[in-house]
Amino acid sequence: MSSPSFDVKQLARSPQRRAIAPPPRRAEATPAVETVALGMLPELVGYHIRLAQMAIFADFEAALGELALSPGLFGLLVIVEANPGLKQTQLADAARLDRSTLVPALDKLEDRGLVERRAAPGDRRSNGLFLTAPGAELLTAAKRTVRRHEARLAREFGTGERDKLIASLSRIFPERR
């Protein structure tokens, strides 16, 4: 039996060979970019909203750092306080969260002793949500801090601008009015 013959030139040109060959060297180094162009981003409402959200969340977390409350957890506590006995599905709808996001957040709040789940009267498959005494105490302190946080944000706006901004942004999601 004869052994198969190989064309060395063909092998050198094969995709496998090229894949392991080192990349060609560049003749010159790429010049450093002095100013990064943002393209169309500054024209986009969503881009500015995202920048504002990042700044607001950073300030919020700095302000509430010692309380270890994110904006999301704070929001859940506020809704539960305003609606004692609220079912988890109702909280998910009100906070615009899906169940896979809500349950771990509630677990965190419950593990910290801030919220408790109680079987709903007449429907033991559903849980009503309630603030605990420590949860109410923490939320009272958090609300004071959040009001100061909001005042810092609002000082950048003239008379009526804050309300106008909120009204303008709410038109993006009109079903929440």
Span 70-99, pLDDT tens digits: 999 999 999 999 999 999 999 999 999 998
CB atoms within 10 A of CB 142: 19
- Distance CA(71)–CA(114), nearest Å, equals 15
Domain-located, residue 15: no
Domain-located, residue 14: no
DSSP letters spanning 12-63: HHSHHHHHHSPPPPPSSPPPPPSS---TTGGG-HHHHHHHHHHHHHHHHHHH
Q: What is the DSSP letter of 127?
A: E
| Contacts with 125 (C-beta within 8 Å, 6 or more apart), sequence order | none
112, containing H or E segment = none
Read off the pLDDT of residues 167-176 as tens digits, 9 standing for 90 and up. Answer: 999 988 766 5
Domain-located, residue 30: no
- pTM across the whole model: 0.75
For 94, the token pair is 């009100």
Question: CA dist 116 to 84, 91, 138, Å?
Answer: 10, 14, 14
Domain-located, residue 93: yes
Q: Which residues constitute the domain of residue 79?
A: 44-176
